[in-house]
Amino acid sequence: MKKSDALLVIDVQNDFCPGGCLAVPEGDGVLGPINRMSGNFQTVAATRDWHPPGHASFAASWEGKKPGDTVSIDGLNQYLWPEHCVRNTRGAQFHENLDTRPFSLVLNKGRSLKLDSYSAFFENDRKTPTGLSGYLGELGATKVYVCGLATDYCVFFTVMDALSLGLAVVLVEDAVRGVDLPSGGLSAALDAMKKAGTDFLPSGKV
């Protein structure tokens, strides 16, 4: 790979894989493609949801609410999830079969109690940066290959933000899996990424 190419590995954590409390269907199917690719990149940045206990995205943090409900927090709509990826728990750790040796950066996101973070680049207020853009810029990265979980949430927002920041983006299509919540969201996310200028490639051609 070129020095200007970076691999972004999004949220391949125990809670998002089979057996986890917010499992993405066939989420562990991304492991093989990611492990085969990652050693070819000089820059590999991996993200993790790293929520404090009682995070605002948890339905259990709101009286009378259940997963799938929405609430307003400081004017932002928040979709509510089961409790997941609580920092320093097993569920928040990378999947044990994910090869982390090539990772040059691990970025923990969603750390603020009242602010969620889907994108690897910005918190959900759409204005608070995570620092990833600066990191990639300092290294001269101009193109990112995106993989991980879940296609229609954290992967989607990461892709769209990368494009808005002027980066070329490739979605590694066999190294992502989606949740399709609500129904139809997965196909809509894929269509939106394509229309925005994202290239789609299988891992074997990366």
Q: Where in the sequence numbering do the catalytic residues fall?
A: 11, 109, 154
If you write DSSP's letter for every residue of 11-35 in order, what string do you get?
Answer: --BGGGSTTSTTPPTTGGGGHHHHH
Please report where in the chains the tokens 């299509």 appear, as a residue.
173
CB 50 within 8 A of CB 44: no
Count of C-beta atoms within a 10 Å radius of residue 48: 22
Crossing angle for the helix pair 156-164 and 185-195, to the nearest 10 degrees? 20
Structure tokens at 137: 């810029």
* Structural Rg of the chain based on CA atoms: 16
Angle (CA) 6 129 24, round 5°: 65
Those residues whose C-beta lies under 8 Å from the C-beta of residue 90, and which sit 6 or more positions away, are: 14
